[in-house]
Amino acid sequence: MSETELKINTSTIESGAENPPQIIIRDLWKVFGRDPKRVLGKKYRDLGKDEIQKKTGCVVGMREVSLEIRKGQFYILMGLSGSGKSTLVRNIIRLVNPTSGTVEINGTDVTKLSQEDLLQFRRKTFGMVFQHYGLLPHMTVLDNVAYGLKVRGLPKGERYAKAMQTIETVGLKGWEDYYPGSLSGGMQQRVGIARALANDPEILLMDEPFSGLDPLIRRQMQDELVELQDKLQKTIVFVTHDLHEALKLGDKIAIMRNGRVVQVDTPEEIVTNPADDYVREFVRDASPAKVLTASSIMEPPKVLLYRWEGPKTALTLMQANNRKAAFVVDKAHRLLGVARADKLEKLLESGDKPGAIPDSHISRVSSVTEETILEDMFSIVSENPYPIPVVDDNGKFRGIVTTDQIFESISPMEGDEND
Q: Which of 263, 286, 309 is the last residue of a domain?
A: 286
Within a domain: residue 341?
Answer: yes
- Cα distances (angstroms) measured from residue 303 to each of 27, 395, 399: 52, 19, 11
Nearest to 408 by CA among 308, 299, 256, 314: 299
Average pLDDT value for residue range 212-221: 81
pLDDT at 227 over 50: yes
**For residue 110, what is the DSSP state?**
G
Amino acid at site 75: Y
Amino acid at site 287: S
One DSSP character per residue, 391-403 reads E-TT-BEEEEE-H
Nearest to 373 by CA among 358, 352, 388, 353: 388
Provide the pLDDT confidence category of residue 18 given band limits of 50, 70 and 90: low
Tell me the C-alpha distance between 233 and 159, whole Å. Answer: 22
pLDDT at 415 over 50: no
Provide the pLDDT confidence category of residue 411 given band limits of 50, 70 and 90: low
Dump pLDDT digits (tens) for 58-110: 999 999 999 999 999 999 999 888 899 999 999 999 999 999 999 999 999 99
Q: Verify that 249 and 304 share a domain, yes or no.
A: no
CATH number at residue 177: 3.40.50.300
208 phi/psi in degrees, rounded to 5: 45, 50
Q: Verify that 255 and 272 share a domain, yes or no.
A: yes
Tell me the C-alpha distance between 279 and 265, whole Å. Answer: 12
Q: Verify that 109 and 138 share a domain, yes or no.
A: yes
Which segment, 264-273, 280-289, 290-299, 335-344, is predicted with the most confidence on average?
335-344
Within a domain: residue 218?
Answer: yes
Q: Verify that 162 and 121 share a domain, yes or no.
A: yes
Q: What is the number of domains present in the chain?
A: 2
Tell me the C-alpha distance between 338 and 325, whole Å. Answer: 7
3-state secondary structure of 203: strand
User: For helices 185-198 and 156-169, what crossing angle results, to 10°?
Assistant: 130
Within a domain: residue 50?
Answer: no
Which residues in 331-365 are b (16+ Cβ under 10 Å) and which e?
eeeebbbbbbbebbeebeeeeeeeeebbeebbeeb
- Cα distances (angstroms) measured from residue 369 to each of 11, 223, 293, 337, 409: 21, 19, 9, 15, 18
Count of C-beta atoms within a 10 Å radius of residue 84:
24
Provide the pLDDT confidence category of residue 1 given band limits of 50, 70 and 90: very low
Nearest to 409 by CA among 391, 395, 388, 392: 388
Q: Verify that 95 and 127 share a domain, yes or no.
A: yes
- Size of the chain, expressed as the number of residues it contains: 419
Q: What pairing do the DSSP bridges indicate for beta strands 397-401 and 325-329?
A: unpaired
Q: Verify that 234 and 108 share a domain, yes or no.
A: yes
Provide the pLDDT confidence category of residue 391 given band limits of 50, 70 and 90: very high
3-state secondary structure of 129: strand
Within a domain: residue 35?
Answer: no
Whether the Cβ atoms of residue 280 and residue 305 lie closer than 8 Å to each other: no
Provide the pLDDT confidence category of residue 176 given band limits of 50, 70 and 90: very high
CATH number at residue 350: 3.10.580.10
Average pLDDT value for residue range 128-148: 87
pLDDT at position 335? 95
Q: Verify that 323 and 261 share a domain, yes or no.
A: no
pLDDT at 13 over 50: no
Within a domain: residue 314?
Answer: yes
Provide the pLDDT confidence category of residue 414 given band limits of 50, 70 and 90: very low
Whether the Cβ atoms of residue 84 and residue 256 lie closer than 8 Å to each other: yes
Dump pLDDT digits (tens) for 368-387: 998 888 888 888 877 778 99
Average pLDDT value for residue range 300-309: 92
Q: Verify that 130 and 218 share a domain, yes or no.
A: yes
Q: Which of 286, 317, 336 is the last residue of a domain?
A: 286
Dump pLDDT digits (tens) for 244-271: 889 889 999 999 999 999 999 998 888 8
Q: Which of 286, 305, 326 is the last residue of a domain?
A: 286
**Which domain does 105 fall in, by range?**
7-21+69-286
pLDDT at 111 over 70: yes
Q: Verify that 215 and 241 share a domain, yes or no.
A: yes
Q: Verify that 350 and 309 share a domain, yes or no.
A: yes
Q: 401 has which bridge partners?
A: 388
Q: What is the largest CA-CA distance in the chain?
A: 93
Within a domain: residue 161?
Answer: yes
Q: Verify that 326 and 271 share a domain, yes or no.
A: no
Q: Verify that 251 and 316 share a domain, yes or no.
A: no
With the CA atoms of 113, 119, 120 and 121 taken in that order, what torsion angle do they form, in degrees rounded to the nearest 10? 60
Average pLDDT value for residue range 163-188: 90
Query: Hey, CA dihedral for 78, 84, 88, 94, is it positive or negative?
Result: positive
Whether the Cβ atoms of residue 244 and residue 291 lie closer than 8 Å to each other: no
Provide the pLDDT confidence category of residue 417 given band limits of 50, 70 and 90: very low
Within a domain: residue 1?
Answer: no
Within a domain: residue 41?
Answer: no
Percent of the chain with pLDDT over 70: 93
H-type alpha helices, 73-184:
85-92, 115-125, 141-151, 156-169
221 phi/psi in degrees, rounded to 5: -65, -40
